[in-house]
Amino acid sequence: GCVLVVSVIEQLAQWHNSTVKAAMERLCDYIPGKYQTTCHMSCCIDREMNADVVCHSLRLCKQDPGQPLCHLYSPPKKEKHFSGLFHALASARPKCQIRSKTFMGFSSVCAFPLLANLCEKIKYVLRNKLPFEDFDGDKFSTFPTLRGYHWRGRDCNDKNTTVYPGRRPDNWDAKSDSNCNGIWGVDPKDGIPYEEKFCKGADSKGVVLLGDSAGAHFHIPPEWMTVTQMSAKSFANLPMAFSDELDWPQFSEITGFLNSTIGGWTDSLYLRLRKRNRCNHRDLQNISQNGIVYFPVNRAPYLSFSLARNQLLDNPAIVIYATIGNDVCNGERDTLAHMTTPKEMLSNVVQALRYLDSHLPNGSHVILTGLVDGRFLWDNLHDRYHPLGQLNKDVTYSQLYSFLDCLQVSPCSGWLTPNETLRNLTSERALQLSNVLKEIARSEKFANFDIFYMDFPLRQTAEEWRKMGGEPWQLIEPVDGFHPSQIAAALGTAITWQKALHEWPQVLGKENPFNDQIEAIFKDQGGY
């Protein structure tokens, strides 16, 4: 974090030909008020010292005994003030010593008083994967972030626990909207409730994602660290992004419902289901977590806490089980030893499916998604410049991956590495785990849902994007160099939908012939 902030400040000074102090003030003007924690750093930043030197001097970068000195930038050259990184640190530490003592009390961003309250809220939702603002306790909210309606269909009555998206209508919603799809009341022409007239027998169903950071749609805006594009507008979405854990589920491949503001376009399984049957409006849940591996109930108890489906009262659901990389991805030195084994995968996925069988309404469907082949990342990014390195052509993705690996915070040591053998072994394990999921879908039977398997459509997505004139690297998030981009998410939806239409049409349900009438009557009541 320190290296990122200091890099931006130094590049702002360079780009605007200003002092470091002026660049700091400029950045602080850009950032919304209570997030201006970086404004305490400026006295130690020197244009002659790169970000690695500054942050090690502040002792914000930890170095255990016997461990290498981690750095993002190439070490300073032997000049009159420097003879390598260690000598640069020796020169810098005296001037930073006083400031580093001040900073030690703020080793966590949550220690800053103005952010402490928000951090407590975020800790709550991280623990429970439930909306922070949920007054009736039905697991749905009228508030967008902090696991609110960006993640689940928007509640239409947060004072009544029996009113929420996805339930079967109460008395055909003749008097009020009990399932929040905007369809309620009685047709004065014949006295038949609109919900009964338009949605009875329509095979309504919701969509639920059990996923990892890719499913949550992790994204750090590149304009936050690209000084040539930076302005106050660049950081306008910072509060929202922070309180959504740097995830953007409202634009995601499975549960996206808003027009993308982070590039590309939004296309999602939910939007296509809603278009197919307007009665499905708001019936979505994104239960994803950054860093999740599999979903065993004993290790991921929030699955039982956060899944909102009543077996007797609610509509069936399409559940997408998609942990596409974290079973083989970790930041450990011995990464292979810390990967999920096929035996563990089988046991824990079956355990999670049994839990779902006891909670999902009859007629539901589960789709298991295979793991991605992450060699695509190194192959298409390693020699390209990261947003932090575009101004001076001094930081490639290869350098970023090595820096994160040194700090032992790499999102995937097995794929984000120059070691081709390790990359191949990681993909081999990913294929083994995908085969476990494929076999589960073939052999396991459950009472309340049928089960299907599909490969993660990375190859088809890349081919489709090439046909549209795009480059493969554009399918990867530019800042973290790891997650699928907005373009990849939208293209992946189209590919998945076509596969489902041809191979599992029963999963998607039939097209509602009354969609146009529903929109005509309830167009002002269908807001998100």
DSSP secondary structure string for all residues of 89-127: HHHHHHHHHHHHHHHHTTSSGGGSHHHHHHHHHHHHHHH
Q: Are 70 and 61 in contact (CB under 8 A)?
A: yes
CB atoms within 10 A of CB 313: 15
Q: Which residues are catalytic?
A: 213
List beta partners, residue 319.
Answer: 208, 366
Distance CA 236, CA 31 (A): 8
- How far is residue 212's CA from residue 489's CA, in Å, rounded to a whole number? 14
CB neighbour list of residue 256: distance below 8 Å, 6 or more residues apart: 217, 249, 250, 266, 267, 268, 270, 271, 489
**Two tokens at 299?**
């290790």
> Can you tell me the distance from the alpha carbon of 496 to that of 392, in angstroms, rounded to the nearest whole number?
40
Tokens of 360: 């999902």
Smallest CA-to-CA distance from 504 within 269, 285, 275, 307 is with 269
SS3 475: helix
Q: How many CB atoms lie within 10 A of CB 191?
A: 8
